[in-house]
Amino acid sequence: MQELSARLVNITDSFWSPRLAVNAGKAIFHQWKQLEATRCIDNFRLAAGEKDGFREGWFFADSDAYKWLDAASRIYALHADPELASLMDSFIALLARAQMPDGYIFTYNQLHFPNQRWVNLQVEHELYCHGHLIEAGVSHCEATGRRDLLDICIKAADLLVHDFLNATNDKTCGHEEIEIALIRLYRVTGKEEYLELARRFVERRGRTQLYGIHWLLQRNSFLKRKTYVNQLRQDFIAKHPEHKSFRLPGDNYTKMPRFSRLRQRINALRGFYAQQHAPIRKQTSPVGHSVRFGYLETAVAMLCREQQNLLPQRLALSRVEVTQRTQRGEASNPYSLSYLVSLVPFVFKKDADEITNLISAMEQAWERMVTRRMYSTGGLGAVPGLEGFGDDYELDPEYAYAETCASLASLFWNWEMALITRNARYSDLFEWQLYNATNVGMGLNGDTYLYNNPLAVHGGVTRKEWYVVPCCPSNLSRTFADLGKYIYSFDENNLWIHQYVSSETTVDVGVPVKVKIESELPWNGKVRIHVKPEKKAEFELHLRTPSWGVSNPSEKLSTASGYDPRESNYETISRVWTPEDETLNFNFDMSIKLRRAHPKVKGHEGKVTVTRGQLIYCLESVDNPDVDIFTARLDPSTLSDEFAPGLLGGAVVIHGKTTDGKSLTYIPYFLWANRGESQMTVWVNIAYQ
Ligand SMILES: [Zn+2]
């Protein structure tokens, strides 16, 4: 199954197009201003020796600048904005000057520890930062065809190959990302060392002896280095009283469960936090930091895709060689090259088994995540101190961390799973997380964001212009810019439609086929699909039947959240298609559905979520001033929907009444917190009938 570049898909969607316009016209420029204001870009000027001052921000702050460049490149691929080009060009030139001659670039060490590198791989995100640089370089090359940033990345990646290809098992990054980046770099350069290094980074996980002690030593070293940097800062300020120090913007209030930090320490010592607890084929549960987990699984799935692509080619090649050598009479000697070559298919059989094992481990982890460790919004990560997964059915709505980046990581993983397994469930979860857990992360104006995404808020949570760790905004922007990539896929006989987002493209399924989607989702269920091959051709069209359209969820309690993507499947239309513009019409069920939590999820008895189509709804206090949204009891027989054109850009709201006759107004969860600080809840008490 192949994917399309977002550049080849023209999105014309009444829901997404305005969102993408805000992303390209406002969000990306706002983010650059914030990076400058928080001196993240200055760190590179300091490293290049072009400015005096003191480095500011987290040790991994470089990654935020790279992720911005990645997002800007992907946006530029769709809208060649000269102002954006100018910002990118000057930053790329700065990176070239800040990079060391051997390819190394990590401003924390360059400025504070010029003679140290790769000393705290489990804690300090050095490889993670290089990963985001490389991803930016690949995106920039794909967007512009230019090599200036790509060459910077190749220089850095070649250093990584030199230093890490033949290294010990403890040489992995505590925060996965470099693996994805190296695979993407391999795809544009064809250089196999990058793919092999990514594979080795993945295979090394969970193989460090006494990992807990290793982690403790690294953490201790990190703390010592941090103390030293703080001393350097004080010395600098003493010598330069004119230096204006500043504080990074604060976080939202996060309600912490008891022992949250202690759990993080134990989780890290046991290796779960950074997915170092077991070799990759034995990692069959979602554990630890949920962004790291998602990036690791994405990389594993990408490796499987590469292996799947290589297998037929390598098998075909080996068979040709065997035939040629047999014809030359060389095959009779069991020690001859041809005999060894004839064994190659068996070696590849082992390769195939290895892929199957990897996919099986991922499928088990996915199943457990979806059935026991995922919030009803699609949010991931129940323990704030850990920023990650809790125990099975541990899904407190108020403690929910559900970092925006965790749902983004899940999107990347689910897309890869859709491609390698051809199972509709992955695109179904992609849709649910895209519209809910991810979309909630960016405010309607593009200049405010949510970092963690609880499902119940009594106060203290608002959208902020920036965060002390600003990883989510540019991650959102790069993913929104790439939305076109996730709608279609194809091979020589098949065309898949994964998402019903209005768009047009041409795919090659043996013949070029123009395909166009006209969708009224998520507000109305009408979808029209036009299929027009260049000439008469036989191929299969696979249309995802959304899980939310096929069942009555209130009767089932198969998952913790009440949402079950496993009910999705592809409806296949197999026929001869003609160049006549053939139109398929659908009308998805957009009725209001109530979903209950699994009985094992504590505190959810007698509560429901309200959903309609792929959207989950919430009560926000601003719409319900006369009701205590946390104690209100919904009378389900009173529910009705209505399109409210003046509300938050136009949205379907759901009206209902409490059992004592007071009005309730639900809005889509992704729209909450766009009108100042308020209270909010997704789970609402229901009157038993
Ligand atoms: Zn984030």
Q: What is the pLDDT of residues 334-344, one digit of tens each?
A: 455 555 565 56
Asked, for residue 576, whether it belongs to a domain, the answer is no
Residue type, 294: G
| pTM, 2 dp | 0.94
What is the pLDDT of the chain when averaged over all its residues?
93
| Ligand 1 midpoint to CA 225 (Å) | 25
Ligand 1 centre to CA of 433 (Å) is 15
- Domain with 663 in it: 593-686
Query: What was the pLDDT predicted at 178?
Result: 98
Q: How far is the CA of 669 from the centre of ligand 1 (A)?
A: 19
Residue 322: pLDDT over 60: no
Ligand 1 center–CA 588 separation, angstroms:
33
Please report, rounded to a whole number, the percentage of residues in the chain having pLDDT higher than 90.
86
Query: Which tokens go with 256?
Result: 């912490």
Q: What local confidence, expressed as pLDDT, does residue 326 receive?
A: 52
Q: What is the pLDDT of residues 58-96, one digit of tens each?
A: 999 999 999 999 999 999 999 999 999 999 999 999 999
Report the separation in Å between the CA atom of 469 and the middle of ligand 1, taken as the mean of its atom positions: 7
Asked if 652 and 612 touch (Cβ cutoff 8 Å), the reply is: yes
More confident site: 664 or 339: 664
- Classified as helix, coil or strand, 399 is coil
Q: What is the pLDDT of residue 688?
A: 72
Give the residue-averaged pLDDT of 569-583: 93
Sequence-distant (≥ 6) Cβ neighbours of residue 509 within 8 angstroms: 490, 491, 492, 493, 494, 495, 533, 537, 539
**493 CA to middle of ligand 1, Å?**
39
Spacing, Cα 567 to ligand 1 middle (Å): 30
- pLDDT range class, residue 689, cuts 50, 70, 90: low
Three-state SS sequence of 166-185? CCCCCCCCCCCCHHHHHHHH
What length does the chain have?
689
Strand, coil or helix: what is 33?
helix
**Cα–Cα distance between 397 and 458 in angstroms, integer?**
11
What is the rounded distance in angstroms from the CA atom of residue 582 to the CA atom of residue 579?
8
In 3D, which of 425, 446, 587 has the Cα closest to residue 521? 587
Question: Ligand 1 centroid to 136 CA: how many Å?
Answer: 17
Q: Which residues contact 673 (CB under 8 A, 6 or more apart)?
A: 443, 450, 461, 462, 463, 620, 680
pLDDT grade, residue 332 (50/70/90)?
A: very low
- The answer for residues whose C-beta is within 8 angstroms of residue 339's C-beta and 6 or more apart is 331, 333
Q: Which two structure tokens, joined as six digits, stand for 75?
A: 């946006």
User: What is the pLDDT, as a whole number, of residue 309?
Assistant: 81
Structurally, the chain folds into a number of domains equal to 2
Average pLDDT over residues 21-47: 97
For ligand 1, the distance from its centroid to the CA atom of residue 101, given in whole angstroms, is 31
Q: Is residue 584 part of a domain?
A: no
365 CA → ligand 1 middle, Å: 22
- Closest Cα to residue 201, out of 225, 227, 243, 170? 170
Q: Give me the phi and psi of 19, to 5 degrees please.
A: -65, -45
For 358, the token pair is 């990897």
Nearest by Cα to 295 from 143, 439, 471: 471
Of the residues 166, 189, 204, which one is the last residue of a structural domain? 204
3-state secondary structure of 313: helix
Higher pLDDT, 350 or 464: 464
Please say if the pLDDT value at position 106 is more than 90. yes
| Percent of the residues in the chain that have a pLDDT greater than 70, as a whole number | 93
> DSSP 3-state assignment of 438?
helix
Q: Is residue 532 part of a domain?
A: no
Backbone angles phi, psi at 662, to 5 degrees: -85, 150
Torsion 173-175-180-181 (CA) sign? negative
Angstrom CA distances, 637 to 556, 591, 593, 657, stand at 19, 13, 12, 9
Q: How confident is the model at residue 38 (pLDDT cuts 50, 70, 90)?
A: very high
Q: How many Å lie between the centroid of ligand 1 and the Cα of residue 563?
A: 24
For the stretch 213-239, pLDDT in tens is 999 999 999 999 999 999 999 999 999
111 falls within a domain: yes
474 pLDDT higher than 90: yes
Ligand 1 centroid from CA 307, angstroms: 30
Residue 574, beta-bridge partner list: 540
Beta partners for residue 684, in sequence order = 608
665 part of a folded domain:
yes
Cβ atoms of residues 72 and 88 within 8 Å: yes
pLDDT, tens digit, 9 for 90 and up, residues 141-174? 999 999 999 999 999 999 999 999 999 999 999 9
In a domain, 644, yes or no: yes
Distances, alpha carbon 531 to alpha carbons 385, 489, 504, 512, 584, in Å: 50, 14, 10, 11, 8
Bond prior to 512 in cis (omega within 30° of 0): no
Which of these, 445, 444, 441, lies nearest to 470 by C-alpha position? 441
Q: Compute the distance from residue 627 Cα to the ligand 1 centre, in Å.
A: 33
d(C-alpha 402, C-alpha 415), whole Å: 19
Q: How far is the centre of ligand 1, averaged over its atoms, from the C-alpha of 404 (Å)? A: 6
Q: Could you tell me which of 298, 327, 517, 558 has the C-alpha nearest to residue 410?
A: 298
DSSP for residue 110: H
- Nearest-10 Cα torsion for 465, 470, 473, 476: -160
Read out DSSP for 474-489? Answer: HHHHHHHHTGGGGTEE
CA distance 452 to 66: 22
- Please report where in the chains the tokens 């299969």 appear, as a residue: 540
- 21 C-alpha to ligand 1 centroid (Å): 22
Final residue belonging to a domain, choices 155, 189, 204: 204
Query: 156, 188, 204 — which closes off a domain?
Result: 204
pLDDT > 90? residue 110: yes
pLDDT of residue 591: 96
**For residue 403, how far is its CA from the centre of ligand 1 (angstroms)?**
6
pLDDT in tens, 389-434: 999 999 999 999 999 999 999 999 999 999 999 999 999 999 999 9
Question: CB under 8 Å to 294, separation ≥6 — which residues?
Answer: 380, 406, 408, 409, 410, 412, 413
Is 338 domain-assigned? no
Q: Residue 203 in 3-state DSSP?
A: helix
- DSSP-derived secondary structure letter, 440: G
Whether 465 contacts 30, CB under 8 Å? yes
Is 214 part of a structural domain of the chain? no
State the amino acid at position 617 in one-letter form.
Y
Distance 560 CA to ligand 1 centre (A): 24
- The Å distance, Cα 536 to ligand 1 centre, comes to 48
pLDDT tens digits along 277-307: 999 999 999 999 999 999 999 999 999 999 8
Task: Give me ligand 1 centre to Cα 614, in Å.
Answer: 23
Residue-level pLDDT at 244: 76
Give the least confident one: 46-55, 60-69, 326-335, 580-589: 326-335
